[in-house]
Amino acid sequence: MADKSKKWANNQAGKYYVDDQCIDCDACRTEAPANFTRDDEHGYSFVTKQPSTPEEEAQCKAAQEACPVEAIGTDG
């Protein structure tokens, strides 16, 4: 389960976040490419854009469910 006290600082503020459990597996970037991106220097994903449409919300939820280490959390 994602821990909001361990979320990456470069997550865009909002409902979704990625914490330090991320193993850079690419699942979230595959499920919601408009909302997640990779920190190439450190090798992890983070939320670059919070969902703004029902479609993006569904994709972010799918990304959260696809995460093998439960590194994606929500504040809402």
Q: State the pLDDT at residue 50.
A: 98
Domain ranges of the chain: 4-74
pLDDT at 15 over 70: yes
Closest by CA position to 22, among listed 5, 7, 4? 7
Confidence at 76, pLDDT banded by 50, 70, 90:
low
The answer regarding whether domain 4-74 maps to CATH 3.40.50.300 reads no
What pTM value is reported for the model? 0.94
3-state secondary structure of 23: coil
Mean pLDDT of all residues in 25-40 = 98
- The mean pLDDT of the chain is 97
